[in-house]
Amino acid sequence: MIARNDEETFQLTYLDQNAARCYIQTLQVFPFDAEASMDVAVNALREALWATLQEMPFFAGTVGRADQKTGILPLRYPTQLSEEDKTRLFKHKVLTPDEFPATYAHLKERGMPPSALAAHMFCPEVLRDMPGVPPNAEGTINCLHPFPVLAVQAFFIQGGLVLSIYVSHNVVDCSGLAQLWKCYADSVSRLGLPPQPSKRSPPSAESLLATQIHEVPNQSDLRGMLNARIPDIENPVADLFVREPFEYSKTLDDDTPCSAKIFIICYDRIRALRDQLRNTLAPGAHLSICNVIGALVWISVCRARAARLERGGHTTTRLGVAVDCRKNLDPPLDENFMGAMAIFAKAELPLSSLISGRSVSHETILAAALEVRKTVDGIDKAWVERHLAFFKSKIPILDAEPALKFRFGPDAYLTSWLHFGADIKWNIPGTTSPSPDFIRRTTDNKSDGGTIILPRRKGGPDGKEAPFEVLVRLADEDMQRLEADKGGLRSWSEYVIQ
The whole-number pLDDT of residue 191 equals: 82
- 323-345: per-residue pLDDT in tens? 999 999 999 999 899 999 999 99
Q: Please report how the helices 289-311 and 267-278 are oriented relative to each other, as an axis angle in degrees rounded to 10.
A: 80
Please state the rounded mean pLDDT for residues 75-101: 94
Tens of pLDDT, residue by residue over 111-157, are 999 999 999 999 999 999 899 999 999 999 999 999 999 999 999 99
Write the CA distances from 4 to 49, 170, 324, integer angstroms: 22, 22, 35
Contact between residue 443 and residue 471 where contact means Cβ atoms under 8 Å apart = no
pLDDT score for 141: 97
Q: Are residues 128 and 167 in the same domain?
A: yes
CA 13 to each of CA 127, 141, 349, 380, 454: distance values in angstroms, whole numbers, following the listed order: 25, 19, 32, 20, 27
Determine the residue type at 345.
A
- pLDDT of 403 > 70? The answer is yes
Residue pair 435/420 in contact (Cβ under 8 Å)? The answer is no
Claim to verify: residue 353 and residue 208 sit in the same structural domain: no
Where does a domain end: 213, 229, 245?
A: 229
Q: Give the mean pLDDT of 414-426.
A: 96
One domain, residues 262 and 380 = yes
Q: Determine the pLDDT at residue 413.
A: 98
CB of 29 within 8 A of CB of 439? yes
Whether residue 490 lies inside any domain: the answer is yes
pLDDT of residue 196: 44
H/E element holding 497? strand 495-497
Cα radius of gyration rounded to whole Å, the chain: 23
At residue 31, does pLDDT exceed 90? Answer: yes
Q: Is 102 in the same domain as 203?
A: yes
pLDDT at position 102: 98
225 and 371 within one domain = no
The pLDDT, as a whole number, for residue 444 is 83
Q: What is the mean pLDDT of residues 70-98?
A: 94
> Do 88 and 47 share a domain, yes or no?
yes
270 and 136 within one domain: no
What pLDDT is recorded for position 5? 58
| CA angle 432–435–436, rounded 5-degree value | 90
Share of the chain above pLDDT 90, in %: 89
User: What's the pLDDT score for residue 433?
Assistant: 96
Q: At 214, is the pLDDT very low, low, confident or very high (cuts 50, 70, 90)? A: low
**CA–CA separation, 105 and 424 (whole Å):** 22
Instruction: Please state the domain count of the chain.
Output: 2
Report pLDDT for 205. 52
> Residue 117 in contact with residue 442, Cβ under 8 Å?
yes
pLDDT, residue 4, reads: 54
Q: Are residues 168 and 304 in the same domain?
A: no
Asked whether residue 288 falls in the same domain as residue 179, the answer is no
- At 150 the three-state DSSP class reads strand
Mean pLDDT, the chain, rounded, equals: 94
Of the candidates 331, 228, 312, 188, the one whose C-alpha atom is nearest the C-alpha of residue 11 is: 228
pLDDT (0 to 100) of residue 460:
67
What pLDDT is attached to residue 216?
Answer: 80
Show the domain range for 434.
258-497
Asked if the structure places residue 312 within a domain, the reply is: yes
The enclosing domain of 356 has a CATH number of 3.30.559.10
| pLDDT on residue 483 | 98
Among 196-210, 276-290, 406-420, 435-449, the range scoring the smallest mean pLDDT is 196-210
Alpha helices in 282-361 (DSSP H): 289-311, 351-355
Q: How far apart are CA 383 and CA 381, in angstroms?
A: 5
Q: Which of the four pLDDT bands, split at 50, 70 and 90, describes residue 195?
A: very low
Distances (CA, A) of 71 to 21, 30, 67, 68, 231: 11, 40, 5, 6, 22
Residues 6+ apart with CB under 8 A from 225: none
pLDDT for residue 204: 55
Peptide bond into 65 cis (omega under 30): yes
Segment holding 85, helix H or strand E:
helix 83-89
Same domain, 163 and 280: no
- Given a cut of 70, is residue 398 above it in pLDDT? yes
Q: Classify 122 as helix, strand or coil.
A: helix
pLDDT of residue 203: 54
Cross-sheet strand order for the sheet of 412-416: 342-350, 316-324, 412-416, 450-453, 468-475, 258-265, 495-497
Return the pLDDT at 200. Answer: 43
Q: CA of 105: how far to CAs of 34, 158, 439, in Å?
A: 12, 8, 16
Q: Would you put residue 23 in left (φ > 0), alpha (ψ -120 to 50) or beta? A: beta
Question: Cα separation of 484 and 497, whole Å?
Answer: 15
Same domain, 420 and 287: yes
Residue 371 has pLDDT above 60, yes or no: yes
Of 186-195, 327-336, 364-373, 468-477, least confident by mean pLDDT is: 186-195
The pLDDT of residue 210 is: 47
Residues near 68 by Cβ (< 8 Å), separated by ≥ 6? none
Per the CB < 8 A criterion, the answer to whether 21 and 149 are in contact is: no
Q: Which of 168-177, 200-209, 212-221 has the lowest mean pLDDT?
A: 200-209
DSSP 145: S
Q: Is residue 236 part of a domain?
A: no
Rounded CA separation 199/178 (Å): 34
Domain's final residue, options 211, 229, 247: 229
Shared-domain flag, residues 170 and 309: no
Contacts 24+ apart (CB under 8 A), 350-355: 350/315, 350/316, 350/317, 351/302, 351/306, 351/309, 351/310, 351/314, 351/315, 351/316, 351/317, 351/410, 352/315, 354/298, 354/299, 354/302, 354/303, 354/317, 355/302, 355/303, 355/306, 355/309, 355/310
- pLDDT (tens digit per residue) in 439-491: 999 998 899 999 999 999 987 667 789 999 999 999 999 999 999 999 999 99
